[in-house]
Protein backbone atom coordinates (compact mmCIF):
# COMPACT_ATOMS: atom_id res chain seq x y z
CA UNK A 1 0.00 0.00 0.00
CA UNK A 2 2.71 2.40 1.09
CA UNK A 3 4.47 1.84 -2.22
CA UNK A 4 1.35 3.04 -4.04
CA UNK A 5 1.35 6.33 -2.17
CA UNK A 6 2.79 8.71 -4.70
CA UNK A 7 3.40 12.42 -3.98
CA UNK A 8 1.83 13.74 -7.13
CA UNK A 9 -0.52 12.55 -9.79
CA UNK A 10 0.72 10.34 -12.59
CA UNK A 11 2.99 12.06 -15.17
CA UNK A 12 0.54 13.70 -17.66
CA UNK A 13 -1.46 15.22 -14.76
CA UNK A 14 1.67 16.43 -13.04
CA UNK A 15 2.81 18.22 -16.22
CA UNK A 16 -0.47 20.12 -16.27
CA UNK A 17 -0.09 20.99 -12.61
CA UNK A 18 3.41 22.44 -13.14
CA UNK A 19 2.19 24.51 -16.12
CA UNK A 20 -0.71 25.86 -14.06
CA UNK A 21 1.65 26.79 -11.25
CA UNK A 22 3.99 28.57 -13.67
CA UNK A 23 1.10 30.53 -15.22
CA UNK A 24 -0.14 31.54 -11.77
CA UNK A 25 3.34 32.66 -10.76
CA UNK A 26 3.64 34.75 -13.93
CA UNK A 27 0.25 36.35 -13.28
CA UNK A 28 1.30 37.18 -9.74
CA UNK A 29 4.53 38.76 -10.93
CA UNK A 30 2.69 40.80 -13.56
CA UNK A 31 0.19 42.05 -10.96
CA UNK A 32 2.96 43.03 -8.54
CA UNK A 33 4.92 44.94 -11.19
CA UNK A 34 1.78 46.78 -12.37
CA UNK A 35 0.88 47.66 -8.79
CA UNK A 36 4.38 48.94 -8.00
CA UNK A 37 4.50 51.06 -11.17
CA UNK A 38 1.03 52.49 -10.48
CA UNK A 39 1.95 53.35 -6.91
CA UNK A 40 5.23 54.98 -7.91
CA UNK A 41 3.74 57.26 -10.60
CA UNK A 42 0.65 58.22 -8.67
CA UNK A 43 2.20 58.71 -5.28
CA UNK A 44 4.98 60.80 -6.84
CA UNK A 45 2.61 62.86 -9.01
CA UNK A 46 0.29 63.34 -6.08
CA UNK A 47 3.15 64.52 -3.91
CA UNK A 48 4.35 66.93 -6.55
CA UNK A 49 0.90 68.36 -7.20
CA UNK A 50 0.26 68.78 -3.50
CA UNK A 51 3.67 70.34 -2.94
CA UNK A 52 3.34 72.77 -5.82
CA UNK A 53 -0.31 73.44 -5.04
CA UNK A 54 0.44 74.37 -1.48
CA UNK A 55 3.44 76.44 -2.52
CA UNK A 56 1.38 78.42 -5.01
CA UNK A 57 -1.52 78.76 -2.64
CA UNK A 58 0.56 79.66 0.40
CA UNK A 59 3.12 81.90 -1.21
CA UNK A 60 2.89 82.35 -4.98
CA UNK A 61 -0.69 83.40 -5.38
CA UNK A 62 -1.12 85.56 -2.32
CA UNK A 63 2.14 87.39 -2.89
CA UNK A 64 1.59 87.43 -6.64
CA UNK A 65 -1.61 89.37 -6.06
CA UNK A 66 0.65 91.99 -4.47
CA UNK A 67 2.76 91.88 -7.59
CA UNK A 68 5.63 89.90 -6.22
CA UNK A 69 6.55 86.28 -6.74
CA UNK A 70 6.72 83.29 -4.45
CA UNK A 71 9.11 83.73 -1.57
CA UNK A 72 9.97 80.18 -0.63
CA UNK A 73 13.38 78.89 -1.58
CA UNK A 74 12.02 75.36 -2.08
CA UNK A 75 12.17 74.30 -5.70
CA UNK A 76 9.99 71.28 -6.29
CA UNK A 77 10.98 69.08 -9.15
CA UNK A 78 14.49 70.42 -9.47
CA UNK A 79 16.33 67.42 -8.13
CA UNK A 80 14.25 64.95 -10.07
CA UNK A 81 12.99 65.08 -13.63
CA UNK A 82 9.21 65.55 -13.83
CA UNK A 83 7.04 62.44 -13.82
CA UNK A 84 6.34 60.93 -17.20
CA UNK A 85 2.59 61.13 -17.16
CA UNK A 86 1.79 64.82 -16.54
CA UNK A 87 -1.49 66.05 -17.93
CA UNK A 88 -1.36 68.96 -20.40
CA UNK A 89 -1.89 72.29 -18.63
CA UNK A 90 -5.44 73.68 -18.97
CA UNK A 91 -6.23 76.25 -21.68
CA UNK A 92 -6.71 78.84 -18.93
CA UNK A 93 -4.32 78.69 -16.01
CA UNK A 94 -6.06 78.49 -12.61
CA UNK A 95 -3.33 80.74 -11.13
CA UNK A 96 -4.25 83.95 -12.97
CA UNK A 97 -5.33 86.90 -10.84
CA UNK A 98 -6.36 89.49 -13.48
CA UNK A 99 -5.57 93.22 -13.10
CA UNK A 100 -2.22 94.06 -11.50
CA UNK A 101 -0.82 97.10 -9.77
CA UNK A 102 2.28 98.15 -11.67
CA UNK A 103 4.39 101.06 -10.48
CA UNK A 104 7.90 102.32 -10.87
CA UNK A 105 8.20 104.66 -7.91
CA UNK A 106 10.64 102.41 -6.02
CA UNK A 107 13.81 101.10 -7.58
CA UNK A 108 14.11 97.33 -7.91
CA UNK A 109 17.38 95.43 -7.70
CA UNK A 110 18.32 92.26 -9.50
CA UNK A 111 18.73 90.64 -6.07
CA UNK A 112 15.18 91.67 -5.17
CA UNK A 113 13.82 90.22 -8.39
CA UNK A 114 15.81 87.03 -7.78
CA UNK A 115 14.50 86.59 -4.27
CA UNK A 116 10.86 86.57 -5.30
CA UNK A 117 11.42 84.09 -8.14
CA UNK A 118 13.06 81.06 -6.55
CA UNK A 119 11.55 78.61 -9.00
CA UNK A 120 13.15 80.23 -12.04
CA UNK A 121 16.17 78.25 -13.18
CA UNK A 122 19.48 79.63 -14.36
CA UNK A 123 19.26 81.55 -17.61
CA UNK A 124 15.67 82.61 -16.85
CA UNK A 125 14.10 79.21 -17.56
CA UNK A 126 10.91 77.93 -16.02
CA UNK A 127 8.80 74.82 -16.59
CA UNK A 128 5.62 74.13 -14.64
CA UNK A 129 5.83 70.95 -12.57
CA UNK A 130 2.13 70.34 -12.11
CA UNK A 131 1.32 69.91 -15.82
CA UNK A 132 2.91 69.92 -19.26
CA UNK A 133 2.94 73.47 -20.67
CA UNK A 134 1.03 73.93 -23.91
CA UNK A 135 3.78 76.02 -25.52
CA UNK A 136 7.53 76.47 -25.31
CA UNK A 137 8.03 80.21 -25.32
CA UNK A 138 11.24 82.17 -25.84
CA UNK A 139 10.94 85.77 -24.71
CA UNK A 140 13.31 88.01 -26.63
CA UNK A 141 14.26 91.47 -25.36
CA UNK A 142 16.28 93.89 -27.53
CA UNK A 143 18.70 95.64 -25.24
CA UNK A 144 21.42 98.19 -24.65
CA UNK A 145 22.14 100.17 -21.55
CA UNK A 146 18.74 99.84 -19.83
CA UNK A 147 19.65 97.85 -16.73
CA UNK A 148 17.13 99.51 -14.40
CA UNK A 149 14.32 98.82 -16.87
CA UNK A 150 15.45 95.21 -17.11
CA UNK A 151 15.28 94.85 -13.32
CA UNK A 152 11.67 96.05 -13.31
CA UNK A 153 10.86 93.75 -16.22
CA UNK A 154 12.31 90.70 -14.45
CA UNK A 155 10.67 91.63 -11.17
CA UNK A 156 7.19 91.95 -12.66
CA UNK A 157 7.23 89.47 -15.54
CA UNK A 158 8.64 86.31 -14.01
CA UNK A 159 5.78 85.87 -11.51
CA UNK A 160 3.24 86.59 -14.27
CA UNK A 161 4.79 84.12 -16.71
CA UNK A 162 4.90 81.41 -14.04
CA UNK A 163 1.23 81.95 -13.26
CA UNK A 164 0.53 81.59 -16.98
CA UNK A 165 1.96 78.05 -16.78
CA UNK A 166 4.40 78.56 -19.64
CA UNK A 167 7.53 76.59 -20.37
CA UNK A 168 9.64 79.66 -21.04
CA UNK A 169 13.10 81.20 -21.28
CA UNK A 170 14.14 84.85 -21.21
CA UNK A 171 16.79 86.10 -23.67
CA UNK A 172 18.26 89.59 -23.41
CA UNK A 173 19.99 90.42 -26.68
CA UNK A 174 22.52 93.15 -26.12
CA UNK A 175 23.75 95.23 -29.03
CA UNK A 176 27.50 95.50 -28.46
CA UNK A 177 29.27 98.80 -29.14
CA UNK A 178 28.05 102.26 -30.01
CA UNK A 179 26.62 101.86 -33.49
CA UNK A 180 23.10 103.04 -34.22
CA UNK A 181 20.57 100.79 -32.47
CA UNK A 182 18.73 98.14 -34.52
CA UNK A 183 15.77 96.64 -32.67
CA UNK A 184 14.48 94.28 -35.37
CA UNK A 185 17.86 92.74 -36.14
CA UNK A 186 18.42 92.04 -32.44
CA UNK A 187 15.05 90.26 -32.38
CA UNK A 188 16.12 88.07 -35.32
CA UNK A 189 19.33 87.22 -33.44
CA UNK A 190 17.28 86.29 -30.36
CA UNK A 191 15.03 84.01 -32.41
CA UNK A 192 18.04 82.21 -33.92
CA UNK A 193 20.07 81.94 -30.72
CA UNK A 194 17.15 80.74 -28.57
CA UNK A 195 16.47 77.93 -31.03
CA UNK A 196 20.03 76.71 -30.58
CA UNK A 197 19.22 76.04 -26.92
CA UNK A 198 15.76 74.56 -26.91
CA UNK A 199 12.96 73.54 -29.22
CA UNK A 200 10.89 76.71 -28.70
CA UNK A 201 7.71 76.90 -30.75
CA UNK A 202 6.63 80.41 -29.79
CA UNK A 203 8.52 83.72 -29.63
CA UNK A 204 7.44 86.76 -27.69
CA UNK A 205 9.34 89.91 -28.67
CA UNK A 206 9.17 92.52 -25.94
CA UNK A 207 10.63 95.97 -25.37
CA UNK A 208 12.39 96.10 -22.01
CA UNK A 209 10.27 99.00 -20.74
CA UNK A 210 6.78 97.50 -21.14
CA UNK A 211 4.93 95.73 -18.35
CA UNK A 212 1.46 94.18 -18.77
CA UNK A 213 -1.18 95.33 -16.27
CA UNK A 214 -3.23 92.13 -16.40
CA UNK A 215 -1.89 88.58 -16.26
CA UNK A 216 -4.69 87.37 -18.58
CA UNK A 217 -2.67 88.94 -21.40
CA UNK A 218 -0.98 85.61 -22.11
CA UNK A 219 2.58 85.58 -23.46
CA UNK A 220 1.90 82.79 -25.92
CA UNK A 221 1.21 82.28 -29.62
CA UNK A 222 -2.10 82.10 -31.43
CA UNK A 223 -3.25 80.95 -34.85
CA UNK A 224 -2.42 84.46 -36.12
CA UNK A 225 0.51 86.69 -35.07
CA UNK A 226 -0.39 88.36 -31.80
CA UNK A 227 0.00 91.97 -30.73
CA UNK A 228 0.05 92.26 -26.94
CA UNK A 229 0.81 95.94 -26.23
CA UNK A 230 -2.59 97.13 -27.44
CA UNK A 231 -3.47 99.59 -24.75
CA UNK A 232 -0.49 101.51 -23.41
CA UNK A 233 -0.63 104.22 -20.77
CA UNK A 234 1.45 106.57 -22.94
CA UNK A 235 -1.20 106.38 -25.69
CA UNK A 236 -4.09 106.95 -23.26
CA UNK A 237 -4.80 103.17 -23.18
CA UNK A 238 -5.69 103.01 -26.86
CA UNK A 239 -4.05 101.76 -30.04
CA UNK A 240 -2.21 104.73 -31.61
CA UNK A 241 -3.28 103.45 -35.08
CA UNK A 242 -4.89 100.25 -36.38
CA UNK A 243 -1.75 98.83 -37.98
CA UNK A 244 0.39 99.43 -34.87
CA UNK A 245 2.43 96.30 -34.08
CA UNK A 246 5.08 97.75 -31.73
CA UNK A 247 6.09 97.09 -28.14
CA UNK A 248 5.24 93.43 -27.53
CA UNK A 249 4.31 90.82 -30.13
CA UNK A 250 4.17 87.02 -30.34
CA UNK A 251 4.78 84.84 -33.39
CA UNK A 252 5.01 81.09 -33.59
CA UNK A 253 8.14 79.66 -35.13
CA UNK A 254 6.19 78.93 -38.34
CA UNK A 255 4.72 82.43 -38.50
CA UNK A 256 8.14 84.00 -37.98
CA UNK A 257 9.72 81.83 -40.66
CA UNK A 258 6.84 82.43 -43.06
CA UNK A 259 7.59 86.17 -43.10
CA UNK A 260 11.37 85.58 -43.34
CA UNK A 261 11.74 87.00 -39.83
CA UNK A 262 12.12 90.72 -39.29
CA UNK A 263 14.03 93.29 -41.37
CA UNK A 264 17.74 93.64 -40.56
CA UNK A 265 18.15 97.00 -42.17
CA UNK A 266 16.28 99.49 -39.98
CA UNK A 267 18.97 101.41 -38.12
CA UNK A 268 17.66 103.89 -35.56
CA UNK A 269 14.20 104.56 -34.22
CA UNK A 270 10.93 103.82 -36.00
CA UNK A 271 9.32 101.92 -38.83
CA UNK A 272 10.62 98.39 -38.20
CA UNK A 273 7.37 97.40 -36.46
CA UNK A 274 5.37 98.76 -39.42
CA UNK A 275 7.56 96.68 -41.75
CA UNK A 276 6.79 93.59 -39.64
CA UNK A 277 3.08 94.39 -39.85
CA UNK A 278 3.38 94.64 -43.66
CA UNK A 279 5.19 91.30 -43.85
CA UNK A 280 2.41 89.61 -41.90
CA UNK A 281 -0.32 91.02 -44.12
CA UNK A 282 1.60 90.31 -47.36
CA UNK A 283 1.84 86.65 -46.32
CA UNK A 284 -1.94 86.47 -45.90
CA UNK A 285 -2.05 86.55 -42.09
CA UNK A 286 -3.87 88.95 -39.79
CA UNK A 287 -3.23 90.36 -36.32
CA UNK A 288 -4.81 88.86 -33.22
CA UNK A 289 -5.16 91.06 -30.12
CA UNK A 290 -6.49 90.85 -26.56
CA UNK A 291 -9.27 93.24 -25.56
CA UNK A 292 -8.33 96.80 -24.61
CA UNK A 293 -8.94 96.02 -20.94
CA UNK A 294 -6.77 92.91 -20.78
CA UNK A 295 -4.14 94.43 -23.09
CA UNK A 296 -3.32 97.37 -20.80
CA UNK A 297 0.42 98.02 -20.35
CA UNK A 298 2.60 100.49 -18.54
CA UNK A 299 5.73 101.94 -20.09
CA UNK A 300 8.65 103.02 -17.93
CA UNK A 301 9.19 106.66 -18.83
CA UNK A 302 12.61 107.54 -20.20
CA UNK A 303 14.51 109.95 -22.40
CA UNK A 304 15.50 109.18 -25.95
CA UNK A 305 18.47 106.82 -26.03
CA UNK A 306 21.86 107.69 -27.37
CA UNK A 307 22.45 106.44 -30.92
CA UNK A 308 18.81 105.75 -31.62
CA UNK A 309 17.66 108.87 -33.43
CA UNK A 310 14.63 108.59 -35.74
CA UNK A 311 15.65 106.77 -38.90
CA UNK A 312 15.21 109.15 -41.85
CA UNK A 313 14.91 106.22 -44.26
CA UNK A 314 12.03 104.54 -42.47
CA UNK A 315 9.19 105.83 -44.66
CA UNK A 316 10.95 104.77 -47.88
CA UNK A 317 11.66 101.38 -46.41
CA UNK A 318 8.14 100.57 -45.25
CA UNK A 319 6.87 101.52 -48.71
CA UNK A 320 9.00 98.71 -50.16
CA UNK A 321 8.41 95.84 -47.71
CA UNK A 322 6.81 93.61 -50.33
CA UNK A 323 10.07 93.47 -52.32
CA UNK A 324 12.64 93.70 -49.52
CA UNK A 325 11.11 91.04 -47.28
CA UNK A 326 12.14 88.30 -49.68
CA UNK A 327 15.86 88.97 -49.29
CA UNK A 328 16.14 90.93 -46.02
CA UNK A 329 15.38 88.84 -42.96
CA UNK A 330 16.30 85.45 -41.52
CA UNK A 331 17.82 84.43 -44.86
CA UNK A 332 20.31 87.33 -44.79
CA UNK A 333 20.98 87.58 -41.06
CA UNK A 334 24.68 88.06 -40.19
CA UNK A 335 26.05 88.64 -36.72
CA UNK A 336 28.72 87.52 -34.32
CA UNK A 337 27.93 86.37 -30.81
CA UNK A 338 30.58 87.72 -28.44
CA UNK A 339 29.31 86.19 -25.22
CA UNK A 340 26.43 84.12 -23.87
CA UNK A 341 26.06 84.44 -20.13
CA UNK A 342 23.57 82.66 -17.91
CA UNK A 343 22.23 84.89 -15.14
CA UNK A 344 19.74 83.60 -12.57
CA UNK A 345 16.78 85.33 -14.26
CA UNK A 346 17.85 85.63 -17.90
CA UNK A 347 20.24 84.58 -20.60
CA UNK A 348 22.38 87.44 -21.83
CA UNK A 349 23.61 87.34 -25.41
CA UNK A 350 26.13 90.02 -26.30
CA UNK A 351 26.25 90.41 -30.04
CA UNK A 352 28.00 92.37 -32.75
CA UNK A 353 25.38 93.10 -35.39
CA UNK A 354 27.52 95.62 -37.27
CA UNK A 355 26.21 99.09 -38.02
CA UNK A 356 24.75 101.00 -40.94
CA UNK A 357 27.27 100.19 -43.67
CA UNK A 358 29.50 98.17 -41.31
CA UNK A 359 29.32 94.38 -41.42
CA UNK A 360 29.70 92.46 -38.14
CA UNK A 361 33.27 91.53 -37.14
CA UNK A 362 34.62 88.07 -37.82
N1 LIG B 1 16.44 99.71 -26.58
C2 LIG B 1 17.48 99.60 -25.67
N3 LIG B 1 18.47 100.51 -25.69
C4 LIG B 1 18.49 101.55 -26.57
C5 LIG B 1 17.42 101.68 -27.46
C6 LIG B 1 16.41 100.76 -27.43
O7 LIG B 1 17.51 98.68 -24.85
O8 LIG B 1 19.43 102.34 -26.53
C9 LIG B 1 15.42 98.64 -26.62
C10 LIG B 1 14.53 98.59 -25.41
O11 LIG B 1 14.10 97.28 -25.24
C12 LIG B 1 13.40 99.50 -25.84
C13 LIG B 1 13.24 99.05 -27.28
O14 LIG B 1 14.55 98.83 -27.72
O15 LIG B 1 12.27 99.29 -25.06
C16 LIG B 1 12.53 100.05 -28.17
O17 LIG B 1 13.20 101.28 -28.08
P18 LIG B 1 12.68 102.57 -28.80
O19 LIG B 1 13.62 103.67 -28.53
O20 LIG B 1 12.37 102.25 -30.19
O21 LIG B 1 11.27 102.84 -28.20
P22 LIG B 1 10.85 103.54 -26.92
O23 LIG B 1 9.38 103.60 -26.99
O24 LIG B 1 11.45 105.04 -27.00
O25 LIG B 1 11.44 102.89 -25.70
C26 LIG B 1 11.06 105.91 -28.03
C27 LIG B 1 11.70 107.27 -27.83
C28 LIG B 1 11.24 107.86 -26.58
C29 LIG B 1 11.49 109.33 -26.51
C30 LIG B 1 10.86 109.86 -25.28
C31 LIG B 1 11.02 111.32 -25.12
N32 LIG B 1 10.36 111.70 -23.90
C1 LIG C 1 5.13 105.29 -35.58
C2 LIG C 1 6.42 104.59 -35.95
C3 LIG C 1 6.49 103.26 -35.24
C4 LIG C 1 6.37 103.48 -33.74
C5 LIG C 1 5.08 104.22 -33.45
C6 LIG C 1 4.93 104.52 -31.99
O7 LIG C 1 5.09 106.53 -36.18
O8 LIG C 1 7.72 102.65 -35.54
O9 LIG C 1 5.07 105.43 -34.16
O10 LIG C 1 6.07 105.17 -31.55
N11 LIG C 1 6.47 104.42 -37.39
C12 LIG C 1 7.17 105.20 -38.19
O13 LIG C 1 7.87 106.11 -37.79
C14 LIG C 1 7.12 104.92 -39.66
S15 LIG C 1 6.28 105.55 -30.05
O16 LIG C 1 5.32 106.57 -29.73
O17 LIG C 1 6.08 104.34 -29.25
O18 LIG C 1 7.65 106.02 -29.89
O19 LIG C 1 6.38 102.26 -33.05
Whether the Cβ atoms of residue 228 and residue 295 lie closer than 8 Å to each other? yes
Q: Is residue 334's pLDDT more than 80?
A: yes
Pairing status of strand 136-143 against strand 202-206: parallel
Residues paired with residue 340 on neighbouring β-strands, in sequence order: 349
pLDDT given for residue 94 in this prediction: 98
Known catalytic residue at 304: yes
- Sort strands 167-175 and 125-126 into parallel, antiparallel or unpaired: antiparallel
pLDDT tens for each residue of 209-256? 999 999 999 999 999 999 999 999 999 999 999 999 999 999 999 999
Instruction: For 309-323, write each residue's pLDDT tens digit.
Output: 999 999 999 999 999
CB contact set of 125 (below 8 Å; sequence gap of 6+): 168, 169
- 59 with 70: CB under 8 angstroms? yes
If you measure from the C-alpha of residue 185 to the centroid of ligand 2, how many angstroms do you get, rounded to a whole number?
Answer: 17
Q: What is the rounded average pLDDT of the residues 272-295?
A: 98
Does 302 contact ligand 2 (Cβ within 6 A)? no
Instruction: Specify whether the CB–CB gap between 326 and 260 falls below 8 A.
Output: yes
Q: Is 325 a catalytic residue?
A: no
Ligand 2 atom nearest 311 alpha carbon: 13
**Average confidence (pLDDT) over 273-296:** 98
Q: Which residues have C-beta atoms less than 6 Å from ligand 1?
A: 141-146, 181, 183, 207-209, 269, 303-305, 308
Residue 20: what pLDDT?
54
Q: What is the mean pLDDT of residues 271-287?
A: 98
What pLDDT is stored for residue 125 in this prediction?
98
CA distance 173 to 38: 45
Q: How far apart are CA 177 and CA 136, in angstroms?
A: 31
Average pLDDT (283-287) is 98
Confidence of residue 29 (pLDDT cuts 50, 70, 90): low
Structure-model confidence comparison of residues 306 and 75, the more confident one: 306
For the ranges 10-19, 85-94, 227-236, 322-331, which has the lowest average pLDDT?
Answer: 10-19
The span from the CA of 19 to the CA of 114, in Å, is: 65
What pLDDT score does 23 carry? 61
Please say if 233 is a catalytic residue: no
39-83 pLDDT, tens per residue? Answer: 333 333 333 333 343 333 333 332 233 333 323 322 333 445 555
| Per-residue pLDDT tens over the stretch 115-170 | 999 999 999 999 999 999 999 999 999 999 999 999 999 999 999 999 999 999 99
Amino acid sequence: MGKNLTVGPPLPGRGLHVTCLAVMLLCGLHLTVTLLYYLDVHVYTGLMVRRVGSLLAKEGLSIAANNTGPSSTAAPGRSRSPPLRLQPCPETSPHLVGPLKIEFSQLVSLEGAKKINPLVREGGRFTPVECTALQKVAIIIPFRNRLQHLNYWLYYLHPILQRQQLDYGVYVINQHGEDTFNRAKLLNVGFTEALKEYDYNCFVFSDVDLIPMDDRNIYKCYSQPRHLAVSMDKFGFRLPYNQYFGGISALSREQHEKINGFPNDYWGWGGEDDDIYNRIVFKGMSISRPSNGIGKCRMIRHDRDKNNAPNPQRFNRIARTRQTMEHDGLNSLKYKVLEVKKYPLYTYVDVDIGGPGRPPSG
